Amino acid sequence: MPSYRAPVEDVTFLLNDVLGIRRYDNLPGFSDASDDVIEALLNEGGKLAGNVFAPANLAGDKEGCTRNDDGSVTTPAAFKKAYAAHIEGGWNGLSVPEEYGGQGLPHVLNTAISEFASGANLALAMYPGLTQGAIAALLVHGSEEQKQAYIPKMVEGSWTGTMNLTEPHCGTDLGLLKTKAVANGDGSYSLSGTKIFISAGEHDLSENIIHLVIARIEGAPAGTKGISLFVVPKFLVNEDGSVGARNGVSCGSIEHKMGIHGNSTCVMYYDGAKGWLVGAENKGLAAMFVMMNEARLAVGVQGLGQSEVAYQNAVAYAKDRLQGRALTGTKEPGKVADPIIVHADVRRTLMGIRAFNEAARALALWTALQSDIAHRSQDAKERQAADDLLGLLTPVVKGVLTDKGFANAVEAQQMFGGHGYIEEWGMSQFVRDARIAMIYEGANGVQAMDLIGRKLPKDGGRAMMGFLGEVQTFVKDHGEDEQLKALTGPLQAALDDLQGATMWLMQNAMAKPDNAGAGATDYMHLLGLVALGYMWGRIAKAAIAAKAEGGDAERMDAKLVTGRFFAERMLPETALRLARIKAGSDTTMALAAEAF
Amino acid sequence: MPSYRAPVEDVTFLLNDVLGIRRYDNLPGFSDASDDVIEALLNEGGKLAGNVFAPANLAGDKEGCTRNDDGSVTTPAAFKKAYAAHIEGGWNGLSVPEEYGGQGLPHVLNTAISEFASGANLALAMYPGLTQGAIAALLVHGSEEQKQAYIPKMVEGSWTGTMNLTEPHCGTDLGLLKTKAVANGDGSYSLSGTKIFISAGEHDLSENIIHLVIARIEGAPAGTKGISLFVVPKFLVNEDGSVGARNGVSCGSIEHKMGIHGNSTCVMYYDGAKGWLVGAENKGLAAMFVMMNEARLAVGVQGLGQSEVAYQNAVAYAKDRLQGRALTGTKEPGKVADPIIVHADVRRTLMGIRAFNEAARALALWTALQSDIAHRSQDAKERQAADDLLGLLTPVVKGVLTDKGFANAVEAQQMFGGHGYIEEWGMSQFVRDARIAMIYEGANGVQAMDLIGRKLPKDGGRAMMGFLGEVQTFVKDHGEDEQLKALTGPLQAALDDLQGATMWLMQNAMAKPDNAGAGATDYMHLLGLVALGYMWGRIAKAAIAAKAEGGDAERMDAKLVTGRFFAERMLPETALRLARIKAGSDTTMALAAEAF
């Protein structure tokens, strides 16, 4: 059976040595997250993931969810105990303000813990994950009454949350939304319509489910300007806060999916369900985006989590499986064959995943830290810079970490040969589960378009200029450092490619927007490569410093080697991405639709 | 429900215009394959695939195979009728010599038909596919008596074949084989042992199953030098050719796999099963390789087949799904939104798959044609050149067409957004089914090692020099052709990269074999890119000629655009592959196994 060990040591190193979390002790909540608190949190979160979530993963996949005739949904038996342990630990409220029952700790810690949970058991981690998204939306846009009514229960975990956007004919293009809301005259609305792909829409893990639903109020403008956000509880909430009558929302069916079988993906029927407006009328999209942006970061981290767990199990197999002899001569003469980790092609695969995972973890935490700074700093300039980075990097974290996370799960599965294709080994599940992360919360092509069409031109390109400047400064400051040259040289070349691509787009995409569309995905990955390369630069710098200060030399040397592997073999992909972008859209768009 | 339309027109164009099949009418069987015969075969094979195999695909995945308590295995209900239609059409014997009931037609036609079958329904196509592999091994290594006893029935399809190599502890490293064979004194042997991952090992589609099994004769040398090949029928065959007593071979269990659910993947128990030696004692590996090489080409074609069917369904969805508006302005003002095929990022995806598929089809057919020439030509030099190419390209066709075939199925699935993740749409099945092709018949890393370790250095690199020379000649001959320049320029650059990589390996892999291992997969893909680019060169040349002769200008222009897309966006990947190879193995191998 596959296993999972949370990368606690690596996260600790990233928070302390690479990101310098102590530099932010002036921000609310950070000084509460003392070194001891962080250590305890990571260790406990790691244990929960490794000892409780992970053992329920394969069973959850096999058993899946069942919709019963009465419309209720039964989740896998193994999930109940694990979810109970999760809420007992109070994990939902880690970064929620204390006034709503949370601990008010930095979001960056939450991100670390969510990697552990989603690496160990993605289908299970989605239930609290969606709850946290719902909390985030209510925190920003809900009324005080709504916050008090819903958030503490969701922090407790006795209630869970969902987000209801998609309809059968309406995915990315939310302007096509049909679900209707009719004012009841008492401040509430009656919602009617069908929502699909609703994760955790109906299940037996919590006493109540708080649906956040976008709908169109009767008479609202067409398109995205007429969308409002509503909170629609499965059970109405009595004045005293207790659970009341059943609302007019039900699960019509559950989907048969490629993976995340343990998560109930529901078709939800709203049949005059009672709901209350969250935020202003017709401003639902902006409110939903709070939830979406938070969710997009979290989904990127899911991609990393699957990449990490697949890697760990591939490593264990590669050390254990005896097959063939090393090209450089027998390594284990006492055994019938050498373990396959001696083979260079196996090593190449493992090093490639590892070199991605460590930098991707740094990138996810760095991005989450921007969220903390953007929301908690007293300094307007600092807030703006952080918000710029957060906006720019969110689609990159979502798109690149899930594309590569999935590809890495496939590569890790490949290490098992035929055994990788057999469900009992668990590698197939990692691949099937990782696949969803490329799709939900905005398919990765949509992330690329968001990056190139919104985030890049916003404020005259200020966010991108800030990022390019930061990386350039790093390279300049450390370009003469002999120990870092193996990284800074290739990073400069990659940065030049990114600058070249950005310039080319500025010159060629305004007049011909398809040039942007045809290059969007390549641009997202190009930016991702530079960001990961920059993370490797910072990791290497911190590793060298840690060694000098007497840190674990073996572990730090391994990081330096892995960073060089990234620089030699992975960063040069930027040139290919640039070539593709510069090819423009002529051949891409030349054929008539009928010619396909 | 997904559908499949066999690319009959494209195959016809490739056979006639690109590969010039009529130039080989001097080879046995080719003149029988007149233009009319080819047309009829492709049309009939296409109809069988599209109308019979494809409709059984989703049902086969859902129903899967069941092992019953008596050890029998029930295949999906929908497969029976489809298999009956297959054998009624006589498809198993297409390229089998007439003396054994076949039609003696060129193998290249068989390859075209097998793309149709495996594109339409991979799990079903595997049953006849394995039968054809067994026929091939018996044709080359079987005694005349064995050929007469088994081949006609397998051509009929009333008996099927299997290959039994893998054991729990023994995959790629066949030297670890434990299954024993003890001589009975009457010319037969008793076989005992366990084989795993045996596709079509037990099922209810045929009256008898002819297992080809590798085992170690008592007292044989250890390692691969002591392996012999046996034929072990499920039911012994009476003197009159009828089916007799049950043999001591049975299915212990069937595997729960990620995909190809309709194919029964069995654990086979050999418990004193009666078998007969095929070929010479202890020469089983060579005999098995006949089957393996044939199978490797066929598996490459499976990768292409899944890429094609996934592409076709993605195109249909992209034309149908309305979502958003084109960046260049509304295209369908009468509809609520434009079909997503207007979006450049969707186009990029579809063009990328298409540009691969057409060249991959050319490469597979060209390689199969080498097999025909190598086996049928009267000219020793011609035979040698064809055999060189066949050997060199077999691991490339297997490795590259399945790696890219899977990646393309994933990309096609992505076009569907959330719907792609739902099993009912069928896209998940294409991904799950395509995944196996990267693994079986030698995982793709093993293909890369076969290429770099065996095929490349063989005969002083003669095969590779022949290939490089052929591509260079094409570029030289057409480099001044204005219509072809968009292809020949990038092809020359790619060829230079391949030559550079080959040179680097010659200089750096002898002294340090890990440099070969660390670069093997990149080298395989680099060679694949050049081979596909060369195919595009030949396709473009043929398309220009066809246009000049009054052929379908629209279809030919589409090919020219698609070829340019390949040259602009896909061929430049060779530079990245070269950079990775030249990075060598230092960072790849630097860490101790314990550091992972």
DSSP B46-79: HHIIIIIIGGGHHHHHHH--EE-TTS-EEPPHHH
Count other Cβ atoms within 10 Å, centred on residue A454.
11
CA B476 to each of CA A506, B482, B495, B537: distance values in angstroms, whole numbers, following the listed order: 38, 13, 12, 12
Q: Inter-chain contact B257–A518, Cβ cutoff 8 Å? A: no
- How many CA atoms lie within 13 Å of B251's alpha carbon, on the beta-carbon side? 28
Cross-chain CB nearest to B585 (options A344, A444, A585): A344
What pLDDT shows up at residue B289?
Answer: 81
Q: Is the dihedral of CA B432, B437, B442, B446 positive or negative?
A: negative
Torsion angle of the four alpha carbons B137, B211, A426, B258, in this order, in degrees rounded to the nearest 10: 70
Neighbours of A43 (CB within 10 A): 13
pLDDT band (50, 70, 90) for residue B286 = confident
What is the rounded CA–CA span in Å between residue B530 and residue B534? 6
User: Do the Cβ atoms of A114 and A129 come closer than 8 Å?
Assistant: yes
Distance CA A494, CA A477 (A): 17
Contact between residue A144 and residue A330 where contact means Cβ atoms under 8 Å apart: no
How far from chain centre, in Å, is Cα A41? Answer: 20
Task: Look up residue A127 and give its two tokens.
Answer: 């239930």
Tell me the residue ranges of DSSP E strands in A27-177: 66-67, 73-74, 159-164
Tens of pLDDT, residue by residue over A427-453, are 999 999 999 999 999 999 999 999 999
Do A210 and A80 touch, CB atoms closer than 8 A? no
**Which residue in B422, B440, B521 is closest to A348 by CB distance?**
B521
Residue in A closest to B564 by C-alpha = A587
**Max Cα–Cα distance, chain A, nearest Å:** 83
What token pair was written down for B551?
């052929």
Residue B288 clears pLDDT 90, i.e. is over it: no
Whether residue B290 is predicted with pLDDT greater than 80 in this model: the reply is no
Q: Are A522 and A530 in contact (CB under 8 A)?
A: no
Which pLDDT does position A291 carry in this prediction?
A: 77
Q: What is the dihedral of CA B560, B563, B569, B574, to 10 degrees?
A: -150
Are the C-beta atoms of residues B194 and B267 closer than 8 Å to each other?
yes
d(CA A230, CA A215): 7
Residues of B in contact with A558 (CB under 8 A): 591, 595
Helix-helix angle B284-320:B107-120, to 10 degrees: 50
Tokens, residue A14: 């990233």
Chain A environment of B568 (Cβ under 8 Å): 579-580, 583, 587
**CA–CA distance, A487 with A355 (Å, rounded to integer):** 13
Q: Are B520 and B449 in contact (CB under 8 A)?
A: yes
Q: How far is it, in rounded angstroms, from Cα B331 to Cα B344? A: 13
Known catalytic residue at A441 = yes
**Chain B contact set for A346 (CB, 8 A):** 445
For B509-512, the CB contacts below 8 A with 24+ separation are: B509/B452, B512/B584, B512/B585
Residue type, B120: A
pLDDT tens per residue, range A477-518: 999 999 999 999 999 999 999 999 999 999 999 899 999 999
DSSP state of B221: P
Closest Cα in chain B, distance from residue A242 (Å): 35
Across the interface, which of B327, B346, B439 has its CB nearest the CB of A420?
A: B439
pLDDT band, very low/low/confident/very high, at B483 (cuts 50, 70, 90): very high
A247: which 2 tokens?
Answer: 């609302």
What 8-state DSSP symbol labels residue B98?
A: G
Angle between helix axes B427-437 and B380-414 (nearest 10 degrees) is 140
How far apart are alpha carbons A542 and A545 in whole angstroms? 5
Q: What is the pLDDT of residues B181-211, one digit of tens each?
A: 999 999 999 999 999 999 999 999 999 999 9
Distance CA B362, CA B359 (A): 5
**Rounded Cα gap, residues B229 and B221, in angstroms:** 15
Burial of A331 by CB count in 10 Å (0-12 exposed, 13-18 middle, 19+ buried)? middle
Q: What is the pLDDT of residue A288?
A: 83
Q: Interface pTM (ipTM) of the complex?
A: 0.97
What residue segments make up the domains of chain B, in order of their start?
Answer: 460-588
Query: Nearest residue on chain B to A512, judged by CA atoms?
Result: B328
The CA-based dihedral angle spanning residues B157, B159, B162, B164, taken in that order and rounded to the nearest 10 degrees: -170
Q: Which residue in B258, B354, B404, B510 has the most chain A C-beta atoms within 10 A of its own C-beta, making it the best mutation to test that interface?
A: B258
In 3D, which of A132, A32, A52 has the Cα closest to residue A91?
A132
Q: Averaged over B434-462, what is the pLDDT?
A: 97
- Residues in chain B with CB shorter than 8 Å from the CB of A341 are 593, 596
Indicate the average pLDDT of chain B.
97
Are the beta carbons of B345 and A520 separated by less than 8 Å? Answer: yes
Residues in chain A closer than 8 A to B424 (CB atoms): 256
CB contact under 8 A, A587 and B593: no
Mutate to test the interface with B, among A264, A331, A347 (most CBs of B within 10 A): A347
Chain A residues in contact with B526 by the CB 8 A cut-off are none
- pLDDT tens sequence across A173-193: 999 999 999 999 999 999 999
User: Could you give the CA distance from residue A61 to residue A434 in angstroms, rounded to a whole number?
Assistant: 13
Q: Judge: A561–B591 Cβ closer than 8 Å, yes or no.
A: yes
First to last CA, chain B: 45
- Considering CB atoms only, which of B344, B513, B514 is closest to A518? B344
- Quickly tell me which residue has 């002790």 as its tokens: A25
CA-based R_g, chain B, Å: 24
Q: What is the pLDDT along chain A (596 residues), one digit of tens a residue?
A: 899 999 999 999 999 999 999 999 999 999 999 999 999 999 999 999 999 999 999 999 999 999 999 999 999 999 999 999 999 999 999 999 999 999 999 999 999 999 999 999 999 999 999 999 999 999 999 999 999 999 999 999 999 999 999 999 999 999 999 999 999 999 999 999 999 999 999 999 999 999 999 999 999 999 999 999 999 999 999 999 999 999 999 999 999 999 999 999 999 999 999 999 999 999 998 888 877 888 999 999 999 999 999 999 999 999 999 999 999 999 999 999 999 999 999 999 999 999 999 999 999 999 999 999 999 999 999 999 999 999 999 999 999 999 999 999 999 999 999 999 999 999 999 999 999 999 999 999 999 999 999 999 999 999 999 999 999 999 999 999 999 999 999 999 999 999 999 999 999 998 999 999 999 999 999 999 999 999 999 999 999 999 999 999 999 999 999 999 999 999 999 999 999 999 999 999 999 999 99
Active site residues of B: 441
Residue type, A26: N
Q: State how far the alpha carbon of B146 is from the alpha carbons of B134, B151, B187, B241, B524, in Å.
A: 12, 8, 13, 11, 38
Nearest to B261 by CA among B4, B396, B78: B78
The answer to whether the CB of A85 falls within 8 A of the CB of A52 is yes
**Helix, strand, coil % over all residues of chain B, rounded to 5:** 65, 10, 25
C-alpha distance from B573 to closest chain A C-alpha (Å): 6
Contact A517 B593 (CB under 8 A): no
- The 3-class SS string of B416-430 reads CHHHHHEHHHCHHHH
Which amino acid is located at A214 in the chain? I
Structure tokens at A313: 């199990």
Of the pLDDT bands very low, low, confident and very high (cuts 50, 70, 90), residue B304 is: very high
Sign of CA dihedral A112, A115, A117, A123: positive
CA distance B557 to A590: 10
Answer yes or no: are the C-beta atoms of A587 and A509 closer than 8 Å: no
Is the torsion defined by CA of B74, B75, B80, B86 positive or negative?
negative
